[in-house]
Amino acid sequence: MTARRNFLLGAAAAASLLISPPLHAQDTVKVGLVLPMTGSFASTGRQIEAAVKLYQQQHGATVAGKKVEVIVKDDTGTPDLTKRLSQELVVNDKVSFLAGFGLTPLALAAAPIATQAKVPEVVMAAATATITEASPYVVRTSMTLPQVATPIADWSAKNGIKKAMTMVSDYGPGIDAEKAFSDTLTKQGGKVENLRVPLRNPDFAPFLQRVADAKPDALFVFVPSGVGSIFMKQFLERGLDKSGVKLIGTGDMTDDDLLNDMGDVALGVVTSFHYSAAHPSAENKAFVDGFKKLNQMRPNFMAVAGYDGMHLIYEALKKTNGATGGDALVAAMKGMSWTSPRGPITIDPQTRDIIQNVYIRKVERKDGELYNVEFDTIPNVKDPVKAAKM
Q: Residue 123 or 157: which CB sits closer to ligand PHB?
A: 123
Query: Parallel, antiparallel, or unpaired: how do β-strands 246-250 and 218-222 relate?
Result: parallel
Shortest distance, position 120 Cβ to ligand PHB, whole Å = 19
Q: Compute the C-alpha angle 141/144/149, nearest 5°.
A: 135
Ranges of H-type helices in the chain? 3-19, 42-59, 79-91, 104-117, 145-158, 172-187, 205-214, 228-237, 259-262, 282-295, 301-319, 326-333, 384-389
Shortest distance, position 170 Cβ to ligand PHB, whole Å = 12
Q: Residue 93 or 133: which CB sits closer to ligand PHB?
A: 133
Shortest distance, position 62 Cβ to ligand PHB, whole Å = 32
Q: Residue 252 or 374: which CB sits closer to ligand PHB?
A: 252
Give 53-85 as a 3 state SS string: HHHHHHHCCEECCEEEEEEEEECCCCHHHHHHH
Please list, residue by residue across 306-327, b when 16 or more beta carbons sit within 10 angstroms of its beta carbon and e when fewer do: bbbbbbbbbbbbebeeeebebe
Q: Tell me the residue nearest to ligand PHB as measured from the CB.
A: 224
Shortest distance, position 144 Cβ to ligand PHB, whole Å = 9
Residues contributing to the site for ligand PHB (CB under 6 A) = 103-104, 125-128, 173, 224-225, 252
In the 8-state DSSP scheme, what is residue 281? S
**Which residues, in sequence order, are CB contacts of 331 under 8 Å at separation 6+?**
none
Shortest distance, position 166 Cβ to ligand PHB, whole Å = 15
Q: Residue 104 or 156: which CB sits closer to ligand PHB?
A: 104
| 3-state secondary structure at position 259 | helix
Shortest distance, position 322 Cβ to ligand PHB, whole Å = 32
Q: Residue 79 or 322: which CB sits closer to ligand PHB?
A: 79
Q: Residue 176 or 241: which CB sits closer to ligand PHB?
A: 176
Shortest distance, position 250 Cβ to ligand PHB, whole Å = 8
Shortest distance, position 199 Cβ to ligand PHB, whole Å = 8
> Beta partners for 366?
369
Q: Rounded to the nearest 5°, which phi and psi values hold at 34?
A: -100, 115
| 3-state secondary structure at position 194 | strand
Are the C-beta atoms of residues 367 and 381 closer than 8 Å to each other?
no
Cα–Cα distance, 227 to 224 (Å, whole number) = 6
Q: Residue 30 or 83: which CB sits closer to ligand PHB?
A: 83
Q: Residue 199 or 317: which CB sits closer to ligand PHB?
A: 199
